[in-house]
Structure 1
Amino acid sequence: MAMERAQIDRRHSEKAYENSMIRAASYHRRDFDLAVIKTNPSDHEQVRSSMLRTTGAPSVNLGRLECLPLEIIFEICLLLDLESLFRFRQVNRRAQQIISAVHGYRETITYALEVLCIVLRTKTAPYFTIYDLFKVLCTRDCLLCGSFGGFVFLPSLMRCCFSCIKEDCLPAIMSVADAKRLIKWSATRLPKSIPVFKTLPGIYSMDETSQKRRMQIVTKEHIARISRCLINEEAQPTRQKKAAVLRYMVTTALPHLDITSGDIQSGICCSGCQVALEEAMRTTGIEVSALGLRDKVYSRDSFLEHFRQCRKAQELFTLSKKGVDIAKISESVRRGGYFNERGVIMSFGR
């Protein structure tokens, strides 16, 4: 018993030491978060508490559904699309009680409420379930490159990383207007089986491009299915600059939930690599690899591995133990990236 206690204490001590390294030598890239769909976090607090709260004991039941075993009702709820699920939740207190106990519901509302609200506002809720959202919340790595994925491609709820967004590695997308012109679609609407994503006004991409009008977006894969032909880049009439912004308009930040430990991670970058880059810019010049290291996003464990090899990160940690405020060393680290203040204000004003 004493040995087990000693092992637990040692592990707690090791974790506290690792946390101090992470605090001293890493930072979260807020500019990445602001380049994609972003809503004001304060708007969600009241909604979150309401969606997690069950208002007293139910006075009525679910009618004919009550004859089913509770496990079957839970399975039905998991199969409902998000729009139908929340309509069912509004039926009565018993429905609220049932939904609140559905597997993954509380975790999703607690940690992925912004994504849920965006899915509802972009009119894609009929295509996904609460379990779809919970599953991507619990997925850590980008499905395209394997790096830590702090974002989600919303048309298919696919976990991705910012590098794949920036480098245009996501599934190809296009506007509905362009799709109709390409396949000579005469109907006013596309088939209901095709998810149509309606964008939100805001500031997008690292260039902080303002998009005031909403657009309807579809994936080229879905259009190719109904047109029975391959849609290539040359056939897309959307202007290149406009198309480059679209991928930021269909993605948003999403933390990763480790369902076993309960840890929540949004991804971190190395402060040491940022400081080293700034020093190189003032002296010898920079290498392309230095830019990649500066922008690389790590999970907690992968950053600790990087820390062991990054001398500048180790220097920052040593300075922090001497009481030096790391944020004063680099303005970019202090601000969480290199966006301008106007972009921050306009993004949260969406």
Structure 2
Amino acid sequence: MASLVYTGVANHFTVCHLFGILCVSKCSSCANFAAFIWLPECKRVCVPCVRKDPAYMPMTVADATIAFGLGKKMLETIPIVKTLPGEYGLWTSTRRRQMLLLSEQWAREAALIVHGGEDGLSAYLRKASTKSTMIAYQHRMARRNALGCANKTLDNISRYLATAFMPVLLQRATGEVSEGVFYTGCRIASEGRTLSGQQKELLIDRREQSYSPSCFLLHFRECLAAQQIWKERSRSTQ
């Protein structure tokens, strides 16, 4: 919960909402076990979805101002994550400079209020289309979202800057929590050098996916690498 306070978004969510998120174990997008929250919307998310789901690619306040014509007053109604210095991402990138990040979806919804609906927003976009700042923004987005290109926001560091660890409260009475269980087998399998890019990408997702205690054994049944490790360790103890 401290991450919500330190990043400046806590005041946008009620205590009931925060407690509800604490008790939820499933990712908002894929329903797998999730031990993280996406701060701009304060909802559960798993690492595989953070890595590549378009919904979890935040935008900067500067871009929201250009793209949607949002003023200071309206921006104050949207949770804005003030990023914290530290190490982020699957491959550990150190970040010291603060960024101001928010949900693109929530920024768009705010823009509809400001401009009076879809027609008003479209009118704003037409009027702003000749401005140098809008042209530069649209060029950046066009390059990023070009058809036929790989997902250029995959593992973008902004995704991780807007995400925080939050264990799941399993038992309210006892305070028992779960941080999720990771498979050593998935980690070893993802390091194979003979894998295609698509195969490796799938295994990275599996490596970063955590499991609830109840789902741990279910995954073991389909993870060949984990089964091999189990067999080798069983033989070594005989």
CA 1:196–1:212: 2 relative to 1, 3 Å: same
**Residue aligning to 1:206:** 90
1:271 aligns with 2:156: no
Q: Would the aligned equivalents of 1:144 and 1:169 in 2 still touch at CA under 8 Å?
A: no
What is the RMSD of the two structures over their aligned residues, measured on CA atoms? 3.2
Q: CA deviation at 1:140?
A: 0.7
Q: CA deviation at 1:154?
A: 1.0
Q: CA deviation at 1:319?
A: 4.3
Q: CA deviation at 1:168?
A: 3.1
TM-score, with normalisation over the residues of structure 1? 0.50
Structure 1 runs not aligned, ≥5 long: 1-115, 325-350
**Residue aligning to 1:176:** 61
Q: CA deviation at 1:261?
A: 7.9
> Which segment drifts farther, 134-143 or 124-133?
124-133
The secondary structure found in structure 2 opposite 1:269 is: coil
Q: Would the aligned equivalents of 1:204 and 1:249 in 2 still touch at CA under 8 Å?
A: yes
1:192 aligns with 2:76: yes
Q: Would the aligned equivalents of 1:124 and 1:196 in 2 still touch at CA under 8 Å?
A: yes
Q: Of the candidates 211, 215, 218, which is equivalent to residue 298 of structure 1? A: 211
**Residue aligning to 1:221:** 105
Distance 1:236 1:244 in 2: 18
Q: Would the aligned equivalents of 2:74 and 2:110 in 1 still touch at CA under 8 Å?
A: no
CA 1:273–1:201: 2 relative to 1, 3 Å: closer
TM-score, with normalisation over the residues of structure 2? 0.70
**Residue aligning to 2:12:** 127
Q: CA deviation at 1:296?
A: 3.5
CA 1:126–1:301: 2 relative to 1, 3 Å: same
Distance 2:223 2:102 in 1: 42
**Residue aligning to 1:159:** 44
Q: CA deviation at 1:134?
A: 1.6
CA 1:318–1:141: 2 relative to 1, 3 Å: same
Equivalent position amino acid for 2:216 in 1: F
Q: Would the aligned equivalents of 1:198 and 1:217 in 2 still touch at CA under 8 Å?
A: yes
CA 1:236–1:201: 2 relative to 1, 3 Å: farther
Equivalent position amino acid for 2:78 in 1: I
CA 1:295–1:193: 2 relative to 1, 3 Å: closer
Equivalent position amino acid for 2:156 in 1: A
Q: Would the aligned equivalents of 2:85 and 2:98 in 1 still touch at CA under 8 Å?
A: yes
1:253 aligns with 2:165: yes
Identity %: 28
**Residue aligning to 1:140:** 25
Summarize the alignment of residues 33-112 of structure 1 with structure 2, pairs less than 5 Å apart.
Answer: none
**Residue aligning to 2:149:** none
Distance 2:106 2:73 in 1: 14
The secondary structure found in structure 2 opposite 1:223 is: helix
Q: CA deviation at 1:145?
A: 0.6
Structure 2 runs not aligned, ≥5 long: 113-120, 126-136, 145-151
Q: CA deviation at 1:172?
A: 4.6
The secondary structure found in structure 2 opposite 1:258 is: strand
Distance 2:164 2:65 in 1: 26
Equivalent position amino acid for 2:33 in 1: F
Q: CA deviation at 1:313?
A: 2.5
**Residue aligning to 1:244:** 156
Q: Would the aligned equivalents of 2:38 and 2:45 in 1 still touch at CA under 8 Å?
A: yes
**Residue aligning to 1:286:** 195
Distance 2:64 2:203 in 1: 40
Q: CA deviation at 1:165?
A: 0.5
The secondary structure found in structure 1 opposite 2:94 is: strand
Distance 1:183 1:309 in 2: 46
Distance 1:225 1:303 in 2: 39
Distance 1:296 1:124 in 2: 26
Q: Would the aligned equivalents of 2:57 and 2:158 in 1 still touch at CA under 8 Å?
A: no
Q: Report how many aligned residue pairs link the two structures.
A: 202
Q: Would the aligned equivalents of 1:119 and 1:154 in 2 still touch at CA under 8 Å?
A: yes
Q: CA deviation at 1:141?
A: 1.0
Q: Would the aligned equivalents of 1:178 and 1:237 in 2 still touch at CA under 8 Å?
A: no
Q: Would the aligned equivalents of 1:173 and 1:217 in 2 still touch at CA under 8 Å?
A: yes
Q: CA deviation at 1:123?
A: 1.3
